[in-house]
Amino acid sequence: MNIVSSKSRKVKSQSGKHPKISREHQQRIQKLRQSSTPLRERFREDLTLHKFALRTIERYMDAAITFVAYFNRPPQFITDDEIRAYLRYQSETRRLKSGSMWIIHGMLKYLYTKTLRNERPVLDIFRSPKDAPEKIILSQAQVAKALQCVHDIRYRTALELVYSCGLRETEALHLTVHDINRPQGLLTIHGKGSKDRMVPIADIMLEKLTILWKSHHHPELLFPAYEPWRRSGAPRTGTLDRPIIGQTLLLVWQKAVRESGFTKPINVHTLRHCYGTHLLEEGASERSVQDNLGHRSSRTTSTYVHQTAKRTRQSADAVEQIAQNLSR
């Protein structure tokens, strides 16, 4: 059965966007999201018991809903040939990147192998090569110049923290006042895969966080989202009991980068790459940078959980230096 209609065999448009899914498919997705089934609840429970990160669980669940909505029937009645055609559709017709394809494949593999106990040989031959886009690294001066174009204190401090501590966007935005160890100059970071780590934070960055917190006084969050704008052009005020949305921070950062005169496409994660590069330039050891970034490897995983304050502060001088450079 060929599940890819001739109508859907469109290449990417000149704008570079993926071909959109059909309206009928989208309507089925929305309908499934508003309902539940015993199989879907068991799948979520299995993922939770497996200790997948919450973000991974949500991505798998969303991918599963999209998959089932595509065929409009339960997954146990979808054939190997149809699964193969679905993977080709997402990879070749919609041209999803490898990260998105790994989510789809991981979801299918776990759903059929673990939850349904139904081995599907087609999933064993899937391979999606890792995308290897060029890492764009801004100089310390370019980072400082772009950050100066962010005038809102809440957004600017969040971006400065991402850069000066090498955090992932979600790690920074979900920080709370309880994650700061001011006497030792450390932050407790709740990273990917529910793995915590400690990273050094510069004194000047601690002061900026204090100033920021005094501007909103939220009892928990360092970066609470603003209340919706009441009128056009009015300053952002108030706080919500949820962090700033990552997409909002991305738009603010990209606007600032353009205003600073930098033309290459970058995102918030670029600041994390800049952090690692700039620490090494300032003389920090490769091992301490790896620990600070929380990179997944057998060596890192086995050591950073047991870091002492002394070990974690090995790169503190370099961290202090790049944070100081933001104020020049």
Catalytic residues: 168, 192, 269, 272, 295, 304
Question: Residue 236 has which token pair?
Answer: 């952002």
Token pair, residue 57, equals 């669980």
Q: How is 206-263 classified by DSSP, letter by letter?
A: HHHHHHHHHHH--SSBSSBPPPPPSSTTPPP----SSBPPHHHHHHHHHHHHHHTT--
How many Å apart are CA 152 and CA 221, to the nearest integer? Answer: 17
For 60, phi then psi, to 5°, come to -65, -45
Burial of 122 (0-12, 13-18, 19+ CB in 10 A): middle
Place of tokens 């959109």: 20
Q: How far is CA 102 from CA 110, 130, 204, 312, 324, in A?
A: 12, 9, 40, 33, 40
Element (H, E) at 242: none
Task: Give the per-residue SS3 of 63-98.
Answer: HHHHHHHHHCCCHHHCCHHHHHHHHHHHHHHCCCCH
Q: Which residue spans within the chain are E strands per DSSP?
A: 180-181, 186-190, 196-200
